[in-house]
Each structure stands twice: as structure tokens, then as C-alpha cells.
Amino acid sequence: MALSAGLIFVNLSHAQEGAVAAGEALYEEHCATCHGERLRPTGAAPDLKNLSVDDRTKFETIVWNGRGQMPSWQGMITDDERAAIWAYIRSRAK
Ligand code: HEC
């Protein structure tokens, strides 16, 4: 029992690492021009590392709808890709 629980845990954390790596690549491709390479803010757009764990719904809504100078990403990236970008941002959060 203890062994299988351990295996499940390892598998989940590997899945999480995979999402973070995928999210990093997607972030650099789609978001870094405005939000800064490696999440280092440029001044042109908010520092996404300031989002808290409770801001996920806000993040998802703004990414889908766009806001101000920021374009909408709905139809440009998938739900899974948006979730991977969130996982990447959370992994670097302050
Ligand atoms: C063309 C430049 C540009 C690109 C590309 C861009 N953004 Fe933005 N983003 C902005 C600007 C500017 C704002 C501030 C909008 C406002 O509040 O007027 C913003 C705001 C946001 C916010 C709200 C932050 C907050 O604290 O309120 C989130 C979340 C966000 N962007 C995520 C993303 C993600 C994820 C991507 C990549 C898929 C992305 N952005 C790509 C320019 C951009």
C-alpha cells in the first residue's frame, strides 16, 4: 500500500514537472515579448509572478478575453496549454 501510494505521488510530480516545462516553452513563445523573458518584467506589462494562487480564475479569464493592450488567446492556445503556462508561472511565483 505504502509503495503504491509512493509511486502515484512520483507520477503526479513528474506530470507537474512536465506541465511546468511545457508552460515555460509556451510562455517564451507567446507571452515573453510583453511580460518579459523568464518572467522578468519589462515594464510593458504586469509582472505575472505577482499573481497569487487564488488568481487562477482571473488569469484564465484575462488570457481568454484579453485586456487593454493584451490580445485574447482563446483559439490561439488550448485549455491544456493555458494550464501549463499557469503551472510555469506558479512554479516561479514570489
Ligand atoms: C502584446 C503584449 C502582450 C502579450 C503578447 C501578452 N500580454 Fe498579458 N498583458 C499585456 C498587458 C499590456 C497587460 C495589462 C492589461 C491591462 O490591464 O490594461 C497584460 C495583462 C495580463 C494579465 C493580467 C495581470 C494582472 O496582474 O492583472 C495576465 C494574467 C496576462 N497578461 C497573461 C498573459 C499570458 C499568459 C500571455 C501569453 C499567452 C500574455 N499575457 C501575452 C500584454 C501582453
Going along the chain from its start, the domains and CATH numbers come out as: 2-91 (1.10.760.10)
More confident residue, 12 or 59: 59
11 has pLDDT over 90:
no
Read off φ and ψ for residue 67, nearest 5 degrees: -165, 130
pLDDT at 64: 98
pLDDT at residue 79 in the model:
96
* pLDDT tens profile 33-43: 999 999 999 99
Residue 64 CA to ligand 1 center (angstroms) comes to 10
SS3 67: strand
- Asked if 77 and 33 touch (Cβ cutoff 8 Å), the reply is no
Prediction pTM value: 0.90
> In testing the pocket of ligand 1, which one of 39, 57, 62, 90 has its CB within 8 Å of the most ligand atoms?
62
Cβ(87) – ligand 1 distance below 6 Å: no
Residue located nearest, by CA, to atom 43 of ligand 1: 70
93 lines ligand 1 (CB under 6 A): no
**Whole-number average pLDDT of the chain:** 90
Distance between CA atoms of residues 60 and 79, nearest Å = 9
pLDDT at 68 over 80: yes
